[in-house]
Chains A and B, each alone.
Chain A
Amino acid sequence: MPLLDRNGAKTDDWTLSPDGAADAPRVLVAFDHVQNALAGNGRGRRIGVAIANTIKAEALAPFLTDLDLVSIAFPSYGDGRGFSIAKQLRHLGFKGTLRASGPLIADQFAYALACGFDEVELPEAQAARQPVDQWVRAAASISKTYQRGFGAQNILDARRAARLAGK
């Protein structure tokens, strides 16, 4: 399925293997198999996990330092649970790649990035209707928003900086 990040289209070099059996450099496993995949990972593979948005962020806490990627499912663009899970995973210290997977729309890209996602994996039909340039443009449509802790560009910190500069 098509993949994109803040710079545009991207090749997906992960191999989906729910039970972790695949012999590939980057293997994306199901949540139920993440412990086994990490434990038996003597082959130098990188491991990622694909989770439903009903999985609690804390359930992944023991594995976060060993995981290279967490892919959070968006069953529909209207289901925003993934945004909170991403935020919590980043707060728990996850430094790897965060992927949003599902029929998101371009107008959600900025939100996804602000909540800590790095990339979005789209169904073919969605990607065909909403080409990559629309996503890149949509991500830049609002230059600064009001929330602190959602990326560097926020109005509250900009006001503070202006205040400190004696403006």
Chain B
Amino acid sequence: MYRYDEFDARFVRERVAQFRDQVARRLDGALNEDEFKPLRLKNGVYLQLHAYMLRIAIPYGTLSSRQLRQLALIGEKYDRGYGHFTTRTNMQFNWPRLRDVPAILDLLADVEMHCIQTSGNCIRNVTADHFAGVAADEIEDPRPTAELIRQWSSLHPEFDYLPRKFKIAVTGSAQDRAVIKAHDIGLRILRNAKGEIGYEVMVGGGLGRTPMIAKTIRSFLPKDELLAYLESVLRVYNLEGRRDNKYKARVKILVHEIGAETFSRLVEEEYARLDGPSIVADPEEVARIAAYFASPHYEKLPARSAAFEKGKAKNRAFATWAAVNLFAHKIPGYAAATISLKAIGEAPGDVTCAQMRVLADLAQQYSFDELRITHAQNVVLPHVEQDDLLAIWQTLVEAGLATANAGLITDIIACPGLDYCSLATARSIPIAQALAHRFADQKRQLDIGELNVKISGCINACGHHHVGHIGILGLEKSGKESYQITLGGDATLNAAIGENLGPGLAAQDVPDAIERIVDVYLAHRQNGESFIESVRRLGLEPFKAVIQEKLHAPA
């Protein structure tokens, strides 16, 4: 993991002092609310429905045990004993007081964390594949790139007042697990014909009101040119992005309006004008960062763990958990374990401070002190010996963290929705809870197989509903909550935006509707095809029909 040097440490401390001063100036009136709001947002402080909310950056989803314990401490001392992991792998606390935020920021700085640019019209927390350093199909670990970008984008003098927020994601594998095509910039690490490492640069993806899939503007960018090229992209966006309408201000609209080719040309022209070498990090700096992400010291283990096999044979619940929640590790004898924060009936992504400590202890004991947060709002122990899996699972069972549903229909992504969020138009969590209860049966979930349900409580789409195999969007219709169902979204490199199945449904009708959709799949699937494969083959019509039937059924 990356560790702060003296410069990083000082930078973050000065930032805390700066925020403390900003709060003081807000209180004495030097800053009015319109001026203070963007400043507090750039430190992760929102004003939500009931209270302020603090969003803490977890860069590229990587956390140490010590950091997670500190989050637990903050949650107990300054909040209500729990936190929430978001689809951008950050942690949110729902009840902090503004007067306490500077003290919380100090506690974060103690463990090399911050809230810088977790909101506001600036470059946000950089995300990456949560199986970075684990996946066998990895060309290069994306985290050194993400860390380089984190530093470069922090308090960037030119790009802190962009037309709108700007999100960057990096993947280093053939498979995309970071939803890079739904980001303002998606970077895919690849090798060219000469075997050199570089990036495919995709721009203009995003969800929200106008969902778009990112387009490639550079098929191969040499690795050492990254920061100068990003500077060109951001400069073009800063100058040309629309500022007349907040809903048309994202770079995806600019790319759409002028076309990816024109956008690419403007970027290349700007890039040609730059003095690249004066901007990019020198190779020693890149190497310095990369060294922090070197593989941990793995043991030499047999590929097959006898203890693991025996545990599975003796304990069916453990065997199911292992079948569903484990990810193949590149090193023989190891596994990456997904710890689901989607226990049936709980709020997706919520974790108590007591559970945080359990997770921190497990990571310390079994996973080289390291945890990952996923965009699906789960936690990963990235490097565990298969011999230890049974013991880990037993601890998880005691902590209520052993739900075997990673990737299944009850592994639902949901934003906080109107239960917390002041922007929301409808609640999300109760819908997720009702669906989880409806599909709670383990056997049935396994029979249905991989199925991503994603729920957003408003058009801003924090719950990624557009790229859910089944997406649910909560809106307000005539003073009531109403839920639109979309189908066929995909968050991988085959990224697709789901299509709307028709008019919105009342909250109590959503579980029935989803059940009917699933039944259509179960009735029509062929040769073991997954839900999304069936939807692609069948098209929307058979699914639409059952929704319409429901709507028009006599009351």
Q: Do chains A and B touch in the complex (CB under 8 A)?
A: yes
Chain A residues at the B interface, C-beta cutoff of 8 Å: 77-81, 83-85, 87-88, 91, 105-108, 110-112, 114-115, 129-131, 134, 137-138, 141-150, 155-156, 158-160, 163
- How far is A142 from B275 in the complex, measured between Cα atoms in Å? 25
Does chain A have a CB within 8 A of B99?
Answer: no
Interface centre among B7, B11, B151 (most CB of A within 10 A): B7
Q: Tell me the smallest distance from the CB of A156 to a CB of chain B, in Å.
A: 6
In this complex, what residue of B is CB-closest to A163? Answer: B284
Q: Contact between A87 and B158 (Cβ–Cβ < 8 Å)?
A: yes
Q: Contact between A130 and B30 (Cβ–Cβ < 8 Å)?
A: yes
Given A107-B39, A159-B285, residue A145 in contact with residue B158 (CB < 8 A): no
Interface hits, B1-59 → A, CB 8 Å: 5, 7-8, 10-11, 14-15, 17-18, 21-22, 25, 29-32, 35, 38-39
- Measured between beta carbons, the chain B residues less than 8 angstroms from A87 are 158, 235
- How far is A141 from B161 in the complex, measured between Cα atoms in Å? 18
- How far is A142 from B280 in the complex, measured between Cα atoms in Å? 21
Contact partner of A149 (CB less than 8 A), chosen from B35, B239, B278, is B278
Q: Contact between B161 and A108 (Cβ–Cβ < 8 Å)?
A: yes
Q: Report 11 cross-chain contacts, Cβ distance below 8 Å, ordered by A residue.
A: A77-B161, A79-B243, A81-B238, A84-B158, A84-B235, A112-B157, A115-B157, A141-B21, A143-B14, A148-B281, A159-B285
- How far is A87 from B278 in the complex, measured between Cα atoms in Å? 14
Q: Contact between B10 and A143 (Cβ–Cβ < 8 Å)?
A: yes
Number of interface residues of B (CB under 8 A): 46
Q: Tell me the smallest distance from the CB of B3 to a CB of chain A, in Å.
A: 14
Given A146-B152, A156-B281, residue A107 in contact with residue B22 (CB < 8 A): yes
Q: Contact between B30 and A155 (Cβ–Cβ < 8 Å)?
A: no
Bitwise interface map of B from 139 to 163 toward A, beta carbon under 8 Å scored 1, else 0:
0000000000001101111111110
Q: Contact between A147 and B152 (Cβ–Cβ < 8 Å)?
A: yes
Q: Tell me the smallest distance from the CB of B169 to a CB of chain A, in Å.
A: 20
Q: Tell me the smallest distance from the CB of A154 to a CB of chain B, in Å.
A: 9
- Measured between beta carbons, the chain B residues less than 8 angstroms from A107 are 18, 22, 39
- Measured between beta carbons, the chain A residues less than 8 angstroms from B282 are 156, 160
- How far is A146 from B149 in the complex, measured between Cα atoms in Å? 10
Given A150-B157, A155-B7, residue A81 in contact with residue B18 (CB < 8 A): no
Does chain A have a CB within 8 A of B397?
Answer: no
- Measured between beta carbons, the chain B residues less than 8 angstroms from A155 are 7-8, 11, 151
Given A142-B11, A145-B155, A146-B152, residue A129 in contact with residue B161 (CB < 8 A): no
In this complex, what residue of A is CB-closest to B153? Answer: A146
Q: Contact between B157 and A111 (Cβ–Cβ < 8 Å)?
A: yes
In this complex, what residue of A is CB-closest to B35? Answer: A105
Q: Contact between B38 and A145 (Cβ–Cβ < 8 Å)?
A: no
Q: Tell me the smallest distance from the CB of A41 to a CB of chain B, in Å.
A: 29
Contact partner of B121 (CB less than 8 A), chosen from A78, A115, A134, A160, is A78
Contact partner of B239 (CB less than 8 A), chosen from A84, A112, A138, A148, is A84
- Measured between beta carbons, the chain B residues less than 8 angstroms from A142 are 11, 14-15, 18, 155
Q: Contact between A144 and B30 (Cβ–Cβ < 8 Å)?
A: no
Does chain A have a CB within 8 A of B273?
Answer: yes
Interface centre among B10, B156, B278 (most CB of A within 10 A): B156
- Measured between beta carbons, the chain B residues less than 8 angstroms from A130 are 25, 30-31
In this complex, what residue of B is CB-closest to A105? Answer: B35
Q: Contact between B239 and A160 (Cβ–Cβ < 8 Å)?
A: no
Does chain A have a CB within 8 A of B423?
Answer: no
Q: Tell me the smallest distance from the CB of B341 to a CB of chain A, in Å.
A: 33
Does chain A have a CB within 8 A of B288?
Answer: yes
Q: Contact between A160 and B238 (Cβ–Cβ < 8 Å)?
A: no
Does chain A have a CB within 8 A of B538?
Answer: no
Given A79-B243, A81-B239, residue A146 in contact with residue B17 (CB < 8 A): no
Q: Tell me the smallest distance from the CB of B160 to a CB of chain A, in Å.
A: 6
In this complex, what residue of A is CB-closest to B12? Answer: A142
Contact partner of A105 (CB less than 8 A), chosen from B31, B280, B281, is B31
- How far is A81 from B158 in the complex, measured between Cα atoms in Å? 8
Q: Contact between A80 and B22 (Cβ–Cβ < 8 Å)?
A: no
Interface centre among A78, A142, A146 (most CB of B within 10 A): A146
- Measured between beta carbons, the chain A residues less than 8 angstroms from B284 are 160, 163
Q: Contact between B154 and A144 (Cβ–Cβ < 8 Å)?
A: no
Given A105-B35, A142-B14, residue A111 in contact with residue B158 (CB < 8 A): yes
- Measured between beta carbons, the chain B residues less than 8 angstroms from A85 are 239
Q: Contact between A141 and B30 (Cβ–Cβ < 8 Å)?
A: no
- Measured between beta carbons, the chain A residues less than 8 angstroms from B159 are 80, 83
In this complex, what residue of A is CB-closest to B14? Answer: A142
A141-B18, A146-B155 known, 20 other contacts, Cβ within 8 Å: A77-B161, A78-B38, A78-B121, A80-B162, A83-B157, A83-B158, A87-B158, A108-B160, A111-B158, A114-B157, A129-B30, A131-B30, A134-B30, A142-B18, A145-B154, A146-B154, A147-B152, A148-B278, A149-B278, A155-B8
